[in-house]
A and B are shown apart, each in its own frame.
Chain A
Amino acid sequence: MNLNGFKYFFLSGKGGVGKTTSSILMALYFSQRGEKTLLVSLDPAHSLGIALKAKLGELPKKVEEKLFALEVNPEKEMEKYLKKVEKEARQIVSPAFLGEVEEELKLAHSSPGALELATADAIYRIAVEGRGFDKIVFDTAPSGYTVRLVASPNSIVKWWKGLISVREEALKYEFLSNLKEKRKLKEIFREDPILKVLTKRLKEYETLKELFTGKETAFGVVFNEGLLPREIGVRTVRELEEAGAPVKFLVFNRVKNGIESLKAKNKIVIKVPEFKEEPIGIEKLKELLKLTRWEVK
């Protein structure tokens, strides 16, 4: 097994273990082999731009031959989406009902799963828009919770399909009771804004499920030396695997003497040594990549 067979890479691990650094190393590795690579950060702290010493935005920016990078902020995306719904509500909802709708929208800001789903939205959008890339590396992977939220076996897709069939049935009865209706039922279905939203979401969840659990995807967990950091890494692997995410590689970062080895069945191990200084800026990162060892099984 090697990493070249995958297209999407998600790097997980606790804050500070070296996710951003490792993501860049991986992306550099692929781009140097001639693969058009997109590096994506979902970290609101803009750590990717800092590590690359580049000003990044929401659109891919070329940072090296064959290497592009972008940064999105899921929290901001969440605000944008809810604002859009609010605006739409003010446009189409009659004043008598607006208050109730706005109240529910307020709840959505803090509803459980909101930020995770906003993150999933961003990943979905980038995966769709990034079709022209050979490899896409995500710094800050979706948590096990996010993976479970969109990728659990079939029940979620079934749930969205359930909503669709309830709405279709409602429209059918509406159609039967409205003599003046000139459109065909099929047209009514096609033009119904509720069915439009529902089918859009169904498609998104189907795609994300495939993205988070499919054959083109490799999840990786970044480890540090020491008993406790290792235990935390092992737990992250377990959490992701229980959620159905395919953990294919482990990054062992800041290896000091190289003696400590990581036993992992069926997983690629990447060993990144402790660098002599902070590996910031593309030149230093290239140097670090030369010192990195890929233990392919």
Chain B
Amino acid sequence: MLKALKLFLKGALLDQSTEKIEAKSKELNDRLLLLILSHKLGVPNPFFYHCVELLPYLSENLKGLERRILDRKSLISRLTGEIGEP
């Protein structure tokens, strides 16, 4: 019963904007990757050594990351505003 409800809710959401939700997830993973690879923005990440362990799992986001950064320049200031630099 609960499962059916969940599926229904999911379906409703999906109908609305599957692509938007998917894009949001991708954007968040980009964000994560940018925090790890902050040297790409000229800010070295002091914990880079411990973060490289994550790269194999985020490899698909790595491709074209720089281009997407340029597309969403404002992301950077939002990022540091939210979490701050280490």
Contact = CB atoms under 8 A, between A and B. Distances in A.
A92 B25 contact: no
Interface stretch (A59-67, A173-181, A212-220): A173-181
Interface string B32-50: 1001110100001011111
B25 A89 contact: no
Contacts of A163: 32, 35-36, 83
Interface of A: 78, 82, 85, 88-89, 91-94, 96-98, 100-101, 104-105, 107-108, 111-114, 117-118, 149, 155-156, 158-159, 162-163, 166-167, 169-174, 176-177, 179, 193-194, 197-198, 201
Contacts of A97: 59-60, 62-63
A173 B57 contact: no
Contact of B21 (A82, A89, A173, A197): A173
Given A107-B39, A155-B84, A167-B32, 14 more contacts: A100-B62, A104-B52, A105-B52, A113-B49, A114-B49, A156-B86, A159-B86, A170-B31, A173-B24, A174-B25, A177-B18, A177-B25, A179-B10, A201-B50
Given A105-B52, A156-B86, A177-B18, A100 B59 contact: yes
Interface in B10-34: 10-11, 13-14, 18, 21-22, 24-26, 28-29, 31-32
A45 to B, nearest CB: 23
A85 B25 contact: no
A119 B77 CA distance: 33
A171 B57 CA distance: 13
Contact of B7 (A104, A173, A179): A179
Contacts of B58: 194
A112 B56 contact: no
Q: Report, nearest first, the 3 A-B pairs whose CB atoms are least far apart.
A: A170-B28, A162-B83, A173-B25
A100 B31 CA distance: 17
A167 B83 CA distance: 13
Given A169-B28, A177-B14, A179-B7, A101 B55 contact: yes
Contact of A85 (B18, B46, B55, B60): B55
B82 interface: yes
Contacts of A111: 44, 48-49
Among B39, B47, B84, residue most surrounded by chain A Cβ atoms (within 10 Å)? B47
A156 B46 CA distance: 10
Contacts of B44: 111-112
Nearest to A78: B49
B71 interface: no
A85 B86 CA distance: 23
